[in-house]
Structure 1
Amino acid sequence: MSNEHLTGSDNYFENFEVGAVYRHARGKTVTENDAVTICHMVMNSASAHFDDHLMKTMYDLKLAHVDESLVFGGVTISIVIGLAYQDTGENVIRELAMDNIKLTGPVLHGSTLYAYTEVLSKEDSEDGAGIVHFRHYGVDQNNKLVFQGERSALVRKRAA
């Protein structure tokens, strides 16, 4: 039985072209619940992630307008990769690596994130699959880059 009907028709190993850039369709507004819940789940106790009063009175982040807490970088990374996944991950057999992670700007409660992906390289691997190297970019509602990172995955070939 083929799994082709369960996934998109254009995200198999053969479909990825080196140099191609994808703008992923959806965005995600980071709610306070998203950000604070994850901080508590992973035991991140940095006050900047859930103490709005502290952000207003103590932190000089060159953000004079800051009224909200900072979003934990792990949440930012997860959301951007998640937004990219429909186009880049439906036929992934195994995630291989994440490298060169850069959190390049603040994300606050209420920020909306969007994702882009560039195909850096691809190589044949085991039967029925190949390795694709991606660079993911996350931008906020003002189109400011807030995340960049590379990901390698073993991706199913269509014939498999």
Structure 2
Amino acid sequence: MTKTNAGNFFEDFKVGQVLTHATPRTLNEGDRALYQALFGSRFSLQSSDEVARAAGFAQSPVDDLLAFHVVFGKTVPDISLNAVANLGYADCRFHKPVFPGDTLSTISKVIGLKENSDGATGVVYVRSTGRNQKAEIVLDYVRWVMVRKRDKASAAPVTDVPKLPAAVDAGSLFVPAGTDFRSFDIAASGSPHLWDDYEVGEKIDHVDGITIEEAEHMMATRLYQNTAKVHFNQFTEGQGRFGRRLIYGGHVISLARALSFNGLANAVLVSAINGGRHVAPCFAGDTIFAWSKVVEKAPLAGRSDIGALRVCTIATKNLPCTDFPGALEKGYADGVVLDLDYWVLMPRG
């Protein structure tokens, strides 16, 4: 009997199956520093203990997406080690901020299955829940991933595709307890534009571009302990359909979030991800640009100091966003690689 893990294939999953993922991960200041070095994120709340304390935190929280990637990374050996591609996200809520010293672990439940028409792959839907050392939920989300079959001749499961909300309801967003953003320092954040200054329908070109380096991507995926073969093994991927390793989709999400600072510098917290789609693959050497559209504004019950913005961020590769190439009637413009719909929290004026 083999002692090594070959990963689960499509026929190994059953609806209702619960997977407890290995290797709890304690985050520390080194993780925060490395994350900022990899992506260049400049949001003041995650950069400065003093800014965080002024808002009611004991210290600066780690970047929300760093927590997301670590929780996600735990799931890879059990869910997507044999993935062809991660297809999308939905119904993701950030329940509690994560701080250096917190230990994150993840459990997933299979909530849907659908074999593809080629008979060689299928789509697995899971809800993954990340908790801290106190067993408190820090975030949960649904994702669906295309996974290879072990045997193309194996019988297909009954198709069971979960119904997912189009968006997280603004009334269910979590605002960290004990916080107060009435004295938020806009000089420290680098932008005077607060929640009240944004309009629904407004488009923001984030202007800057970041080129993906192979070494940085490898370091990032190792940081998250994401062991998906498509990101690590050039020997096998060199014989695959692209001839090279794929960039982890979450890497592009973090780059887009970092780029969004120029125009959304006061979007201090990511509160929810309504939906996300990796439209096209990325490779080392591609340069990522991004633009955003304000889709919705929502005041928060009992809070006059902070509000929620629903933002759709489109990331492109090797295509500056001057003309805002977005979703088309029958697809996406060439060069679009990410379509991310999410809620951010922003101090009010």
Normalising by the residue count of structure 1, what TM-score does the alignment of the two structures yield?
0.85
Contact map agreement 1:100 1:149 (CA 8 A) in 2: yes
Q: Which of residues 31, 37, 43 in structure 2 aligns to 1:46? A: 43
CA distance in 1, matches of 2:96, 2:107: 16
The answer for the alignment partner of 2:15 in structure 1 is 18
Q: What do the CA deviations read for 1:33-87 (whole angstroms, capped 9, x no partner)?
A: 212332343332122212123323x0125xxxx2x32011110110011011111
The answer for the alignment partner of 2:55 in structure 1 is 59
The answer for the alignment partner of 1:36 in structure 2 is 33
Q: Which of residues 144, 153, 160 in structure 2 aligns to 1:152? A: 144
Tell me the SS of whatever aligns to 1:70.
coil
Q: What is the 5 A alignment of 1:65-80?
A: 66=58, 68-80=59-71
CA distance in 1, matches of 2:5, 2:48: 41
CA distance in 1, matches of 2:18, 2:119: 27
Q: 1:30 to 1:159 in 2, by over 3 A?
A: same
Of structures 1 and 2, the larger Rg is shown by: 2
The answer for the alignment partner of 2:84 in structure 1 is 93
Structure 2 gap segments, 5+ residues each: 153-349
Identity of aligned residues (%): 26
For 1:150, give the aligned amino acid: V
Contact map agreement 2:7 2:77 (CA 8 A) in 1: no
CA distance in 2, matches of 1:43, 1:93: 29
Tell me the SS of whatever aligns to 2:68.
helix
For 2:41, give the aligned amino acid: N
Q: Aligned residue pairs: how many?
A: 149
Q: Which contiguous aligned blocks of 4+ residues in structure 1 show a shift greater than 6 angstroms?
A: none
Normalising by the residue count of structure 2, what TM-score does the alignment of the two structures yield?
0.41
The answer for the alignment partner of 1:129 in structure 2 is 121
Contact map agreement 1:36 1:49 (CA 8 A) in 2: no
CA distance in 2, matches of 1:10, 1:53: 44
Contact map agreement 1:39 1:49 (CA 8 A) in 2: no
TM-superposed deviation, 1:22: 1.2
Contact map agreement 1:8 1:90 (CA 8 A) in 2: no
CA distance in 2, matches of 1:22, 1:116: 6
CA distance in 1, matches of 2:32, 2:92: 19
CA distance in 2, matches of 1:142, 1:50: 25
CA distance in 2, matches of 1:10, 1:83: 13
For 1:46, give the aligned amino acid: F
Contact map agreement 1:36 1:50 (CA 8 A) in 2: no
